[in-house]
Amino acid sequence: MKIKICGMKYPDNMLEVGSLLPDYMGFIFWGKSARHFDGIIPTLPKSVQKVGVFVNESSGEILKKIKKYDLQAVQLHGNESAEFCADLKNKIGNNIQIIKVFSVNDDFDFEVLKPFESLCNYFLFDTKGKLPGGNGTTFDWKVLENYPSTKPFFLSGGIGIEEFEDVKQILKTNLPIYAIDLNSKFEIEPGLKNINLVRTIRELSQQS
């Protein structure tokens, strides 16, 4: 199981977390976020893929961030349309991964995924809340029993050490869970990750 540590903000903390070799590290380029990043990313291990998180951003600005920060993936966390994703995919090529986020509640209609199937590399399912992400709450994962696709996805939304046993149970299903996305429950403050908690979840993930 792969791990994504999202909402990184401080260079020294990035180096600490990077030393534990998470598969992905996320940087939020949405100005209203408490974890908004607009600094310098230090040199990270090559195996750590950098993900830019965007909310209803223009493709031009996304392209600028890809180039500036040498991003390997973009995470679209807003109301981006399939047409927008198609245009972005055409502009960035096949070397940059596209992760399209959907906010899930008990009434989520998986039919909305269909137009995006061929346009993104992964889906990401987060908890529907007041903010686009980082709300710190889980959704009812039983909803995923209705998942109609084979597209691999990231599982997000309030996952902490305490939820890991439940994560292991859902991993035993036939759902194509590609990675878990971790953020607020691993923080000392917004954007500053608790290295001991990250180390613990990294060790647990490697045992799964």
| Strand pairing class (187-189; 192-193) | antiparallel
The CATH number assigned to the domain with range 2-207 reads: 3.20.20.70
> Nearest-CA neighbor of 74 among 64, 62, 83?
62
State pLDDT tens for residues 75-95: 999 999 999 999 999 999 999
State pLDDT tens for residues 140-195: 999 999 999 999 999 998 899 999 889 989 988 999 999 999 999 999 999 999 99
Distance CA 34, CA 151 (A): 31
**How many CB atoms lie under 10 A from the CB of residue 12?**
9
Question: Which uninterrupted H or E stretch holds 12?
Answer: helix 11-18
Coil, strand or helix at 93: coil
Distance CA 1, CA 92 (A): 27
Q: Give the pLDDT of residue 205.
A: 87
The pTM score is 0.94
